[in-house]
């Protein structure tokens, strides 16, 4: 039986402006602006961070371990998320969620957190130093930053099977969840000189499997840092995704991937389509072809388009859901919504783009890029078209183009507002978030798998949370309610 | 707005004149076109004025 697909998204936001035009300064201003609003002052705890561990065992000689920066602004929010400066970007890592819709909610709440931080930060800056934020993945000049998904996977699944089963999905899902890009920005991309691509990220991928995330980006990232009981769990760290502005796209990206991982856990990799012989070439070639006609030779000697892959993968997910109910991913209603939206997007991108311009980010973006190009008779490389691309992702309501193109929503505004402050009730994020809200002065630090209390006297006390499905509202709400101080809470936990 | 009204009016007239064989797809096409035109008007309004400078100044450090 597949384990619950606990999941979440980390997003590095693009950032411009600031007092000295230094992105690290500007990112710190954003994180501190939010923290200083009294919403959180609690530091992240780096205990247990091991980004250098490789799921394949010994790291390859060409793999360099990521560096953990510990001196930059880094906080835990009352909704269980982490808000911090990663390299030169402000990053929001959503709390752990129990279903794709919940994870979409907390991803969208992250946009709202950033928007609020932006308002507070800019109130204290001269207008000419105002900061702007973008939920995108590249600057159009060859620099990319990530939107990473995380999925809880059973340790029993052999990692080679994860690679075998998931490469087809990761190279092809961009046809429904790609965010779209005007032009190209790498040597490879420049050679092809496309007017428009499906994905922000595809052309930055250079390896099939690897540990790195910033250089030689791999389609399958092997970082083996489960942030939980390593005997039982893996955390699949998916770095090949675009930041979506469409809520439906985020939902389908998470839901489709989670369903396929659950199917892999229960049924093994045999039923999955044969992977392309050259996955890196495939992911780039598919991105470069919005007509969706590009085909790639696969290990079974068949040629497949990205659409062919997605069609086969949808069948696997759909059959699996029929057989099991898909409860590892979500309740029946939610799983059928994933399958329905995924199917409609697939059929739409092939047969009727207008029908899915309200859900597929690249279609929505391409529609306005083409429209403006035609209206003003512009060259395909006109700066105005690149400006549309960039401004699609602008977080400011008065500038955002994504907010104007008529994207369908799945979430109510009041739900999002709630999720800015309150954690999901379904995972250990509940305990983390509620502790941060209730006992801010008695928490020394927190991270994904523990909360560290400082009771004023005696040693610091760490409460481990090695199972993402413990620490839920069902298990801890009553206890938290009756404990008015952390001392009381810890005494009750001890019993 | 005037464009929108004109299209609305055209559609009303055509619908009234046609008693059978209404071309649903053409009507839908007109509607999509009108919606896109309105959207492009709005985008022209909010798009950064100096696109060239805006795009040139957006330089990021890599992340992840």
What sign results for the dihedral spanned by CA atoms A422, A423, A426, A432? Answer: negative
- What distance in Å separates the CA atoms of residue A374 and residue B45, rounded to the nearest whole number? 17
What sign results for the dihedral spanned by CA atoms A329, A330, A333, A334? Answer: negative
| Closest listed residue to residue A87, CA positions, set A165, A27, A33 | A27
Share of chain B above pLDDT 70, in %: 59
| Closest listed residue to residue A340, CA positions, set A326, A354, A328, B18 | A326
Contact status, residue A385 vs residue A181, Cβ threshold 8 Å: no
Note whether A401 and A437 are same-domain residues.
no
Q: Do B43 and A372 touch (CB under 8 A)?
A: yes
Q: Which two tokens stand for residue A410?
A: 């799945």
Which of B40, B42, B61 has the CB atom closest to A23's CB atom?
B61
Question: For testing the chain B interface, which of A144, A353, A384, A395 should be mutated: the one with the most B CBs within 10 Å?
Answer: A384
DSSP secondary structure letter of residue A391: H
- Span A358-391, pLDDT tens digits: 999 999 999 999 999 999 999 999 999 999 999 9
B12 pLDDT above the threshold of 80: no
Note whether A28 and A89 are same-domain residues.
yes
φ, ψ of residue A307 to 5 degrees: the values are -65, -40
Look at A9-18, A193-202, A208-217, A251-260 and tell me which has the smallest mean pLDDT: A208-217
**Residue that is last in its domain, among A376, A397, A415:** A415
A17 pLDDT above the threshold of 80: yes
Q: Does B63 touch chain A (CB under 8 A)?
A: yes
Average pLDDT value over all residues in chain A = 94
Residues 6+ apart with CB under 8 A from A252: A176, A177, A338, A341, A342, A345
Alpha-carbon Rg for chain A in angstroms: 22
A57 pLDDT above the threshold of 70: no
- Span A426-457, pLDDT tens digits: 999 999 999 999 999 999 999 999 999 999 98
Give the minimum alpha-carbon distance from A380 to chain B in angstroms, rounded to a whole number: 14
Count the neighbouring beta carbons within 10 Å of the beta carbon of residue A120.
16
Note whether A184 and A80 are same-domain residues.
yes
Q: What is the ipTM of this complex?
A: 0.89
Domains of chain A: total: 2
Residue A405 lies in a domain: yes
Residue A280 lies in a domain: yes
A461 pLDDT above the threshold of 80: yes
Q: Do A388 and B64 touch (CB under 8 A)?
A: no
Which positions in chain A touch B64 (Cβ < 8 Å)? 12, 66, 86-87, 144-146, 148, 213-214, 217, 239
Which of B48, B55, B64 has the CB atom closest to A12's CB atom?
B64
Note whether A452 and A346 are same-domain residues.
no
What pLDDT band is residue B24 in, cutting at 50, 70 and 90? low
Residue A124 lies in a domain: yes
Active site residue A54: no
pLDDT of residue B17: 46
Rounded to an integer, the average pLDDT of B33-46 is 95
Q: Do A388 and B47 touch (CB under 8 A)?
A: yes
Q: Helix %, strand %, coil % for chain B, to 5?
A: 70, 0, 30
Q: Do A391 and B48 touch (CB under 8 A)?
A: yes
C-alpha distance from residue A278 to each of A160, A267, A298, A360, A380 (Å): 17, 25, 8, 26, 30
**Residue that is last in its domain, among A366, A391, A415:** A415
**Residue that is last in its domain, among A359, A386, A415:** A415
Rounded to an integer, the average pLDDT of A156-180 is 97
Question: For testing the chain B interface, which of A368, A382, A389 should be mutated: the one with the most B CBs within 10 Å?
Answer: A368
Which positions in chain A touch B26 (Cβ < 8 Å)? none
What pLDDT band is residue A319 in, cutting at 50, 70 and 90? very high
| Between residues B14 and A171, the one the model is more confident about | A171
CATH of the domain at A302: 3.30.590
List the single residue in B with minimal CA-CA distance to A355. Answer: B32
C-alpha distance from residue B8 to each of A19, B14, B27, B34 (Å): 50, 10, 10, 9
Share of chain A above pLDDT 70, in %: 96
Q: Do B43 and A15 touch (CB under 8 A)?
A: no
- Coil vs helix vs strand at A207: strand
Residue B7 lies in a domain: no
Note whether A390 and A444 are same-domain residues.
no
Q: Which two tokens stand for residue A69?
A: 């920066």
pLDDT of residue A119: 94
Contact status, residue A365 vs residue A385, Cβ threshold 8 Å: no
Give the minimum alpha-carbon distance from A16 to chain B in angstroms, rounded to a whole number: 7
What pLDDT band is residue A64 in, cutting at 50, 70 and 90? very low
Domains of chain B: total: 1
Q: Do A23 and B60 touch (CB under 8 A)?
A: yes
Q: Which two tokens stand for residue A425?
A: 């009730």
pLDDT of residue A66: 46
Q: Which of these is catalytic: A86, A242, A389, A394?
A: A86
pLDDT of residue A38: 58
Residues 16-55 (B) with a CB less than 8 A from some CB of A: 32, 35-36, 39-40, 42-44, 46-48, 51-52, 54-55
Note whether A35 and A153 are same-domain residues.
yes
Note whether A53 and A178 are same-domain residues.
yes
Residue B37 lies in a domain: yes
Which positions in chain B touch A139 (Cβ < 8 Å)? 58-60
Which of A87, A139, A368 has the CB atom closest to B39's CB atom?
A368
A67 pLDDT above the threshold of 80: no
Look at A36-45, A123-132, A282-291 and tell me which has the smallest mean pLDDT: A36-45
Give the minimum alpha-carbon distance from A20 to chain B in angstroms, rounded to a whole number: 14
Residue B11 lies in a domain: no
Give the minimum alpha-carbon distance from A391 to chain B in angstroms, rounded to a whole number: 8
- Span A82-99, pLDDT tens digits: 999 998 999 999 999 999
Owning domain of residue B26? 22-64
Note whether A247 and A389 are same-domain residues.
yes
Note whether A208 and A332 are same-domain residues.
yes
- Coil vs helix vs strand at A225: coil
Owning domain of residue A384? 7-415
A70 pLDDT above the threshold of 80: no
Contact status, residue A109 vs residue A16, Cβ threshold 8 Å: no
Q: Do B36 and A367 touch (CB under 8 A)?
A: yes
Residues 6+ apart with CB under 8 A from B2: none
Residue B4 lies in a domain: no
- What distance in Å separates the CA atoms of residue A67 and residue A49, rounded to the nearest whole number? 10
B22 pLDDT above the threshold of 80: no
pLDDT of residue A50: 77
- Span A245-257, pLDDT tens digits: 999 999 999 999 9
Contact status, residue A15 vs residue A89, Cβ threshold 8 Å: yes
Which residue's structure tokens are 């076109």? B33
How many CA atoms within 13 Å lie on the side-chain side of A120? 18
Which of A89, A144, A375 has the CB atom closest to B40's CB atom?
A375
Q: Which two tokens stand for residue A482?
A: 């009756």
Q: Which two tokens stand for residue A111?
A: 């946009």
B23 pLDDT above the threshold of 60: no
Give the minimum alpha-carbon distance from A263 to chain B in angstroms, rounded to a whole number: 29
Note whether A107 and A179 are same-domain residues.
yes
H/E stretch holding B42 reads helix B24-46
- What distance in Å separates the CA atoms of residue A303 and residue A490, rounded to the nearest whole number? 60
φ, ψ of residue A115 to 5 degrees: the values are -65, -40
Which residue's structure tokens are 């409860």? A327
**A489 pairs with which residues across the strands?**
none
Q: Do B61 and A390 touch (CB under 8 A)?
A: no
Residue A2 lies in a domain: no
**A237 pairs with which residues across the strands?**
A150
Alpha-carbon Rg for chain B in angstroms: 20
Q: Which two tokens stand for residue A375?
A: 């209206």
CB neighbour burial string for A188-197, b if at least 16 within 10 angstroms, e if fewer: bbeeeebbbb
Residues 6+ apart with CB under 8 A from A410: A101, A104, A247, A248, A251
List the single residue in A with minimal CA-CA distance to B43. Answer: A401
Residue B12 lies in a domain: no
H/E stretch holding A210 reads strand A205-210
What are the strands, taking DSSP E only, across chain B?
none
């Amino acid at each position: 039986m597949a384990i619950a697909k606990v999941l979440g998204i980390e997003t590095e936001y693009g950032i411009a402006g600031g007092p000295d035009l230094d992105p690290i300064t500007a990112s710190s201003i954003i994180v501190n602006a939010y923290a200083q609003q009294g919403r959180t002052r609690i530091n992240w705890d780096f205990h247990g961070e091991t980004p250098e561990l490789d799921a394949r065992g010994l790291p390859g000689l060409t793999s360099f371990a990521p560096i953990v920066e510990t001196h930059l602004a880094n906080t835990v929010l009352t909704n269980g998320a982490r808000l911090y400066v990663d390299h030169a970007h402000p990053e929001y890592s959503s709390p752990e969620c129990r279903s794709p819709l919940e994870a979409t909610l907390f991803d969208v709440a992250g946009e709202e957190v950033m928007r609020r931080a932006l308002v507070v930060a800019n109130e204290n800056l001269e207008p000419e130093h105002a900061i702007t934020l973008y939920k995108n993945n590249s600057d159009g000049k060859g620099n990319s930053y990530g939107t990473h998904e995380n999925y809880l996977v059973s340790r029993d699944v052999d990692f080679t099977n994860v690679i075998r089963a998931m490469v087809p999905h990761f190279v092809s899902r961009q046809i429904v969840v790609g965010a779209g890009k005007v032009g190209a920005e790498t040597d490879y991309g420049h050679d092809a000189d496309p007017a428009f691509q499906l994905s922000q990220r595809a052309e930055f991928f250079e390896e099939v499997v690897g540990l790195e995330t910033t250089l030689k980006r791999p389609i399958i990232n092997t970082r083996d840092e489960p942030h939980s009981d390593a005997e039982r769990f893996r955390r699949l760290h998916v770095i090949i995704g675009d930041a979506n502005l469409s809520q439906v796209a985020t939902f389908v990206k998470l839901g489709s991937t989670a369903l396929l991982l659950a199917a892999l856990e229960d049924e093994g990799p045999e039923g999955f389509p044969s992977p392309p012989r050259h996955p890196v070439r495939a992911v780039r070639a598919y991105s470069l072809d919005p007509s969706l006609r590009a085909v790639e030779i696969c290990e079974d000697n068949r040629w497949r388009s990205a659409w062919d892959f997605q069609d086969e993968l949808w069948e696997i997910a759909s059959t699996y859901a029929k057989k099991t109910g898909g409860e590892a991913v979500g309740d029946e209603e939610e799983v059928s919504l994933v399958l329905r939206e995924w199917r409609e997007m697939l059929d739409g991108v092939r047969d009727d783009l207008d029908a899915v311009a309200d859900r597929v980010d690249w279609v929505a973006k391409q529609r306005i890029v083409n429209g403006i190009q035609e209206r003003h008779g512009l060259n395909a490389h006109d700066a105005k078209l690149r400006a549309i691309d960039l401004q699609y992702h602008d977080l400011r309501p008065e500038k955002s183009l994504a907010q104007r193109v008529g994207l369908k929503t799945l979430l109510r505004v009041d739900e999002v507002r709630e999720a800015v402050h309150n954690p999901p009730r379904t995972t250990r994020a509940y305990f983390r978030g509620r502790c941060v809200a209730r006992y801010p002065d008695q928490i020394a630090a927190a991270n994904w798998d523990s909360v560290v209390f400082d009771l004023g006297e005696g040693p610091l006390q760490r409460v481990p949370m090695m199972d993402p499905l413990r620490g839920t509202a069902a298990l801890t709400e009553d206890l938290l309610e009756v404990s008015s101080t952390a001392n009381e809470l810890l005494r009750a936990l001890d019993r | 707005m005037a464009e929108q009204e004109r299209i609305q009016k055209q559609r009303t007239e055509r619908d009234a004149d046609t008693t059978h064989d209404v071309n649903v797809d053409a009507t839908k096409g007109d509607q999509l076109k009108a919606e896109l035109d309105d959207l492009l008007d709005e985008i022209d309004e909010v798009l950064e004025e100096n696109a060239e400078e805006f795009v040139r100044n957006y330089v990021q450090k890599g992340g992840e």
